[in-house]
Amino acid sequence: MNWDSLFTQINVFKITFTNKQNKIEYEYKINNQITKEVKNINDLGITLSNNLTWGPHIQNVISKAYKKLGLIIRYCQPINDIDTLTTLYKTLVKSTIEYGSVIWTPKTAVDIKTIENIQARFMRYLFKKINGFYPKYPEHISYKLLIDNLPIESLDDRFLNNQMKFLQKILKYEINSPYILSQIEFRIPNRNLRANPTQLFRIQDINHNTLKSPIPG
């Protein structure tokens, strides 16, 4: 194989991860070909951004999920079986939203609401299939009430459950990650002063408004 001709036919990219405004600039070359600087890359379905934020990935997830939800609504008009529609939603849409969510779970209220709106749209569609009219007319029915009465839990709850399952696997050594395990500090309450006996872990004080890195340093 002629590697010289191969590298001239493909684009070679580089990405620098930092939350600093003034980053170190360096020109990398592969086989005398200058690498092109990119802001985002995709690794195993997760979009990684050079400024260590999850905005671009969340936007990609939202876009993919809405496209798949649109397919369900468009092509399932003759289907009225609720179990079938719910299975399709969980298989095509919900799996897309939850993929890798342990890593990128949204922290801001805006991102959480934007993602939750995807499921809210499906819930309104499912409600119409059951009752023959949308929950906004003639009387408004809240998303929370729909969640409580239909066989789907909120995405925010799902994200939390996925994180708890991940933590459980770390603690039970089902996932071998010495680094993550070393970052977990158990809190043993004082027997005489139990202000919050349910707080079992020491949690760093983090300002999510200024946090750039997905991993607290």
Say how many CA atoms lie within 13 Å of 163 toward its Cβ.
Answer: 13
Phi, psi of 110 (to 5 degrees): -65, -45
Same domain, 115 and 145: yes
The pLDDT tens digits of the residues spanning 74-125 come to: 999 999 999 999 999 999 999 999 999 999 999 888 999 999 999 999 999 9
In this prediction, residue 130 carries a pLDDT of 87
pTM for the whole structure: 0.74
Same domain, 103 and 145: yes
Calculate ∠ Cα 8-48-185, nearest 5°. 140
| pLDDT at residue 140, rounded to an integer | 77
Average pLDDT over residues 10-31: 76
27 within domain boundaries: yes
Whether 71 is in a domain gets the answer yes
212 or 34, higher pLDDT: 34
Number of domain units in the chain: 2
- Please tell me the predicted confidence (pLDDT) of residue 96: 95
Candidate ranges 22-26, 151-155, 171-175; pick with highest mean pLDDT:
171-175
Residues 6+ apart with CB under 8 A from 34: 12, 27, 28
Of 111, 137, 161, at which residue does a domain stop? 161
Whole-number average pLDDT of the chain: 81
Residues 33 and 83 in one domain: no
Pairing label, strands 29-30, 36-37: unpaired
User: Per residue in 35-63, is it b (16+ CB within 10 Å) or e — as a string?
Assistant: eeeeeeeeeeeebbbbbebbebbbebbbe
DSSP label at 209?
T
Domain range for 19 is 3-38
Q: Are residues 56 and 128 in the same domain?
A: yes
Position 107 scores a pLDDT of 87
Q: Which pLDDT value is given to residue 215?
A: 46
Contact between 124 and 136 under an 8 Å Cβ cutoff? The reply is yes
pLDDT bin (cut points 50, 70, 90) of residue 148 is confident
Same domain, 58 and 152: yes
Do 15 and 110 share a structural domain?
no
Structure tokens at 34: 């200058």
Q: Summarize the confidence of residues 1-17 as an average pLDDT.
A: 62
Could you report the per-residue pLDDT of 160-174, keeping only the tens digit for each?
999 999 989 988 889
pLDDT at 7: 47
Structure-token pair, residue 164: 């708890």
What's the confidence (pLDDT) of residue 10? 59
pLDDT confidence bin for 57, thresholds 50/70/90: very high
CA distance 138 to 74: 24
Shared domain check, 93 and 31: no
CA 145 → CA 41, 86, 124, 141, 151, distances in Å? 39, 17, 11, 7, 12
- 29 and 96, same domain (yes or no): no
The answer to whether position 209 is within a domain reads: no
Q: Are residues 85 and 137 in the same domain?
A: yes
- Whether residues 82 and 128 share a domain: the answer is yes
- The pLDDT value given to residue 201: 58
pLDDT above 60 for 137: no
User: Residue 202 domain-assigned?
Assistant: no
